[in-house]
């Protein structure tokens, strides 16, 4: 089981991993930048999310202070899925994900996020991020005919 994206070996699974992501025709420096941009329609905020000098963790913190679009809680899973799909659409990340085979992927975390991941202190969580990554992996494996 892959249960920690902070380990060097699996850092590429993290939304903080720096790799160009296309979302709605715009290239962002990470999944986190793209995802946080999608929360808000403010042009200044969207420009900030394009800034490669702002680390993904900082964008996540800053996003707590922006006004979210109406219905964000209903949209966030689909936005995340699209961002993750784009992240793994090309090599080398595409192949790295395929190479995980059928391993269970869990976004274990110590920052108490039981929605996107699983809390390492309690083992509780919905693991939506891990489930999306595994779903995308299954799509990729199906596409190559395994």
User: Domain segments of the chain: what residues?
Assistant: 8-144
Which helix (H) or strand (E) element contains residue 118? strand 118-119
What is the CA 14 to chain-centroid distance, rounded? Answer: 6
**11-52 confidence digits (pLDDT tens):** 999 999 999 999 999 999 999 999 999 999 999 999 999 999
CA distance 104 to 110: 19
Query: Among 133, 137, 117, which Cα is nearest to 3's?
Result: 117
What is the band of 144 on the pLDDT scale with cuts at 50, 70, 90? Answer: low
- As a whole number, the mean pLDDT across the chain is 95
User: Is the domain 8-144 a CATH 1.10.357.40 member?
Assistant: yes
Mean pLDDT of the 90-115 span: 95
- Predicted local distance difference test score (pLDDT) of residue 20: 97
């Amino acid at each position: 089981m892959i249960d920690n994206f902070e380990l060097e070996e699996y850092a590429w699974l993290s939304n903080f991993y720096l790799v160009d992501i296309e979302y709605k025709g715009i290239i962002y420096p990470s999944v986190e930048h793209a995802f946080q941009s999608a929360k808000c329609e403010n042009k200044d905020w969207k420009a900030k999310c394009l800034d490669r000098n702002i680390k993904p963790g900082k964008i996540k913190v800053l996003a707590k202070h922006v006004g979210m679009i109406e219905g964000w809680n209903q949209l966030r899973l689909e936005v995340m899925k699209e961002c993750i799909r784009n992240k793994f659409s090309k090599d080398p990340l595409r192949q790295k994900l395929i190479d995980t085979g059928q391993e269970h992927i869990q976004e274990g975390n110590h920052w108490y996020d039981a929605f996107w991941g699983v809390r390492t202190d309690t083992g509780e969580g919905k693991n939506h991020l891990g489930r999306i990554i595994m779903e995308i992996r299954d799509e990729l494996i199906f596409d190559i005919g395994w």
